[in-house]
Amino acid sequence: GINATQLLDQLEKMRSLAQQESALRPPATQPESADFSALIKNQIEQVNHAQKTGSEMAKAFELGEPGVDLAQVMISMQKASIQFQALTEVRNKLLGAYQEVMSMQV
């Protein structure tokens, strides 16, 4: 038959192993709205930086500064434009999702 003491010992060993495993695992983090807002803020800052860089390169090219050619200026301006368009699309999707949630009946 099954010895109750052996069964309890096995259960205790399993419990101990489970506790050790959970102690080794990093704690689960819940997503926070601050993380999302920080992500959006970071993206806006990156777009702003890209636009400033493009404008500065265009101005440097117009002034004839050495080391700045038209191809670099055009690439920089296109990068800024694409980043801005992507950010605008994200904003539009978020706004659409917000409007959809707000129109739901509770």
Residue at 2 is within a domain: no
Q: How many domains does the chain have?
A: 1
Query: Would 90 be classed as within a structural domain?
Result: yes
Is position 77 within any domain? yes
For the stretch 22-71, pLDDT in tens is: 666 666 555 555 688 888 889 999 999 999 999 999 999 999 999 999 99
The closest alpha carbon to 72, from 59, 84, 54, belongs to 54
Report yes or no on 58 lying in a domain. yes
Say whether pTM exceeds 0.75: no
> Are 87 and 43 within 8 A, CB to CB?
yes
pLDDT, tens digit, 9 for 90 and up, residues 95-104: 999 899 989 8
Q: Is residue 23 part of a domain?
A: no
Distance CA 46, CA 74 (A): 18
Does a structural domain hold residue 54? yes
Is 8 within the bounds of a domain?
A: no
| Three-state SS letters, the chain | CCCHHHHHHHHHHHHHHHHHHHHHCCCCCCCCHHHHHHHHHHHHHHHHHHHHHHHHHHHHHHCCCCCCCHHHHHHHHHHHHHHHHHHHHHHHHHHHHHHHHHHCCC
In a domain, 67, yes or no: yes
Range of the domain at 69: 28-103
